[in-house]
Amino acid sequence: MGKDSFKNFVRKNPNLVDYVINNKMTWQQFYEIYDLYGEESNIWDNFKNKENSVNTTTIKDLFSLFKGIDLKSIQKTLNSLNKAIDVFKDFNNNSIENNNYEERPKYKYFED
């Protein structure tokens, strides 16, 4: 059982990704189980259940996600980004103005 067959197995069972994302398992642990027991083992029934799927996100989960967001820090970050963008715009405008330099003719003095 090689890596390619394990990759195909994971593609057939996308619920395994949820366990890795949620730090409940690692790909190394899944591969070791796959190498020891194979695809058809009953051990996979524990990981193939639909309860751990990402699609079962509830409204309560969404509210708890938004509850942890600090709007004041986001506003400060956006203000800082706006200031940085303005600085880059000013820098770009200054460099464009400097490109309009006209060279003075040779053999002319400053007072001429």
Q: Per the domain annotation, does 107 fall within a domain?
A: no
The answer to whether residues 44 and 73 belong to one domain is no
| CA nearest neighbour of 55 among 15, 13, 7, 9 | 15
Do 20 and 49 have their domain in common?
yes
Whether pTM exceeds 0.75: no
On whether both 9 and 48 belong to a single domain, the answer is yes
Q: What is the largest CA-CA distance in the chain?
A: 96
24/43 Cα distance (integer angstroms): 16
Domain tally, the chain: 2
Same domain, 46 and 75: no
Task: Give the least confident one: 29-33, 48-52, 84-88.
Answer: 48-52
Q: Are residues 52 and 71 in the same domain?
A: no
Structural domain including 92 reads 67-98
**Are residues 71 and 52 both part of a single domain?**
no
Whether residues 85 and 41 fall in one domain: no
Residues 93 and 48 in one domain: no
pLDDT tens sequence across 64-107: 777 777 788 888 889 999 999 988 888 877 665 555 666 766 77
